[in-house]
C-alpha cells in the first residue's frame, strides 16, 4: 500500500490525495461515480460545462456529479470569472435557454448503478473507515447505564422526529 507521497511514481502525485477513492470501472478511472478526465480533455470539458451559461455554482454542482480532476473547481472558477463580463451579457434569455437544452447531455457520464469498486479499492476504503472509526472510538466515552424512570429520546419508526420517553424497569 502506498501511504507516502515519496514512494509513488511522479506521474501519479496529483492523484495521491484521492488514492482511496479512485478505481477502474470498464477501463475508465473513476472517483466514486465521477469520471477522471485526462489533461488532454479538460479544456473541452470546461467548454462543454460553460456552453450552458449556468454560472459557477450550477456548473460545479453539475461537474462534481459527473467528472473529476485535481484542481477542477479552481480552473472552472477562473474560467467563469474571465467570461462573466464577456459575451454572456449579449445573449437574450431565450438564446441561453436554447443552449441549455442542447448541451444538457454533452458531459460524459457512466451508469453508476453498475459500478462496483474493485477489490483493492474496497479493501482500502474499508481500512480507511476502520482507521477513522478507531480515532473516534478512542475519544468516545461510555454512557452511564440507564435506570427506571430516566428520560430518553428515541427515533420513532413512523416519523423523522425524536420522541421523548421514559425507561421502564
Q: Note whether residue 147 is domain-resident.
A: no
Taking phi over 0 as left and psi of -120 to 50 as alpha, with beta for the rest, 149 belongs to: left
Q: Is residue 50 part of a domain?
A: yes
Range of the domain at 61: 5-117
If one counts the domains in the chain, the total is 1
| Residue 70 located in a structural domain | yes
Report the CATH number at residue 50.
Answer: 1.10.340.70
Give the chain's end-to-end CA distance (angstroms, integer).
51
What is the number of helices (H) and of strands (E) in the chain? 5, 6
Q: Is residue 98 part of a domain?
A: yes
Return the sign of the alpha-carbon dihedral for residues 25, 29, 33, 39.
negative
Question: Cα–Cα distance between 85 and 107 in angstroms, integer?
Answer: 24
**Each residue's pLDDT tens digit, 96-110:** 555 555 555 555 655
> Considering the entire predicted model, what is its pTM?
0.49
Domain membership of residue 35 (yes or no) is: yes
- The pLDDT confidence band at residue 95, using thresholds 50, 70 and 90, is low
Amino acid at each position: 500500500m502506498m501511504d507516502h507521497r515519496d514512494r509513488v511514481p511522479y506521474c501519479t502525485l496529483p492523484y495521491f490525495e484521492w488514492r482511496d477513492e479512485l478505481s477502474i470501472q470498464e477501463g475508465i478511472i473513476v472517483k466514486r461515480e465521477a469520471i477522471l478526465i485526462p489533461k488532454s480533455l479538460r479544456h473541452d470539458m470546461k467548454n462543454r460545462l460553460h456552453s450552458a451559461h449556468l454560472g459557477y455554482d450550477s456548473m460545479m454542482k453539475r461537474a462534481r456529479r459527473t467528472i473529476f480532476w485535481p484542481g477542477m473547481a479552481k480552473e472552472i472558477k477562473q474560467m467563469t470569472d474571465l467570461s462573466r463580463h464577456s459575451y454572456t451579457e449579449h445573449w437574450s434569455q431565450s438564446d441561453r435557454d436554447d443552449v441549455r437544452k442542447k448541451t444538457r447531455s454533452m458531459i460524459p457520464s457512466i451508469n453508476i448503478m453498475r459500478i462496483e469498486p474493485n477489490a483493492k479499492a474496497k479493501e482500502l476504503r474499508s481500512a480507511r473507515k476502520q482507521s477513522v472509526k478507531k480515532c473516534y472510538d478512542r475519544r468516545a466515552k461510555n454512557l452511564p447505564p440507564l435506570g427506571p424512570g430516566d428520560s430518553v429520546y428515541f427515533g420513532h419508526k413512523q416519523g423523522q422526529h425524536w420522541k421523548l420517553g421514559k425507561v421502564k424497569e
